[in-house]
Structure 1
Amino acid sequence: MGRNITLVGKRLCWSDALLYCRDFHWDLLSIRGPEEQEMIDEMVSSAPFSLTSHLWVGLRRSILGTSWFWMSGDPMDFTQWEHGSHQSSPCGSMASMEPSTWRQRSCEEHLNFFCYTGPTDGENQVHFYSSTREKQ
């Protein structure tokens, strides 16, 4: 896979989790296929600390639309959305109790999250504006 994935024990809102990952790793995790989802599910099941019911990943919904994208700029070729999930929030997570299930969650929830580092040049990373920072 070529990426190092870290399950972070801190519990942050989605935007703070994104900025934490970009400060200390590379980005919130994007899940690019079923093999990666399976590996992530294994990490969740063997976590060395108690997890929140959902975990932030780098999923974001277009503010004025219904399409989702990865903040890393990775293509959205693979999805694991919960059936019947409504889209009232622009922040995406994965369930920690039900492996391989993605759900939208309130961006303000404080959840554990996944960061990753790996070979990448950063050209596709989606810019995220934060009113609390001059530059992210």
Structure 2
Amino acid sequence: MSWSDAQTYCRSKYTDLSTVRSLEDNKDIASLLQSLISLKDLVPAAWIGLHRNFWMWSDASNASYSSWADKQPDMGGSKDCVKMKIDDHTADWSTESCSNAMFFICYSDVRVSALRSVKVRLSGGSVELNDPALQDAILLQLQQKLEAAGIREEVKLRWRKQPDGKVFHRAPPTGWEEEPGIHI
């Protein structure tokens, strides 16, 4: 595909065209490129996300790392996009016309997720806490408080039901050994 078609494809299926921020990234992508393309006996070259818009990555971040081949980047003509090419186990970059059809490498963000369990203790009142509408209202308030505190990442709140199917349990009278709690 052309560079812009490859970018569109990567953005629709993954995150974006590959971004190389370090020598380690360059080696990883080169290794992937070498293994994929050598299976088909083709020239090991592919679009990466760098392009000449002040040499920025497709995701609009600055290019602080580079691995240009000799006499590159070629500033002549309309060679505004960058390919990675494997020669003798080196991964060098060179400019290419963006309209040329070429293999390409996409990347996908991998987000680490964690499950957290929090005990909540509510006091006072005689309202039925196992009413689904009330539980939804409490979750909404908790979500709003997280957002107000600047926590806007992908936080999903949910109630954890106990073996009896209920979320909330009334606390036993004080003096009992077990500490009751509500889990979310």
Q: TM-score, normalised by structure 2?
A: 0.52
Contact 1:32–1:74 (Cα < 8 Å) also in 2: no
Q: Which secondary structure state, in structure 1, belongs to the residue aligned with residue 65 of structure 2?
A: coil
**In 1, distance between residues paired with 2:32 and 2:110?**
21
Contact 2:33–2:45 (Cα < 8 Å) also in 1: no
Alpha-carbon RMSD across the aligned residues, in angstroms, is 1.8
Task: Give, as a single letter, the amino acid of the residue that structure 2 aligns with 1:24.
Answer: K
Identity of aligned residues (%): 28
The match for 1:87 is 75
Q: Per-residue deviation at 1:52?
A: 4.2
The match for 1:16 is 5
The match for 2:24 is 35
**Which sections of structure 2, spanning at least 5 residues, go unmatched?**
112-184
The match for 2:181 is none
Q: Which secondary structure state, in structure 1, belongs to the residue aligned with residue 98 of structure 2?
A: coil
Larger radius of gyration: 2
Task: Give, as a single letter, the amino acid of the residue that structure 2 aligns with 1:84.
Answer: K
**Structure in which a larger fraction of residues adopt helix:** 2
The match for 1:97 is 87
The match for 1:118 is 109
Runs of 4+ in 1 over 6 A off after TM superposition: none
**Structure in which a larger fraction of residues adopt strand:** 1
Q: Which of residues 60, 81, 84 is equivalent to 1:73?
A: 60
Task: Give, as a single letter, the amino acid of the residue that structure 1 aligns with 2:45.
Answer: H
Q: Per-residue deviation at 1:93?
A: 1.0
Seen in structure 2, the aligned counterparts of structure 1 residues 78 and 13 have a Cα distance that, compared at 3 Å, is same
Seen in structure 2, the aligned counterparts of structure 1 residues 24 and 51 have a Cα distance that, compared at 3 Å, is farther
Q: Per-residue deviation at 1:79?
A: 0.4
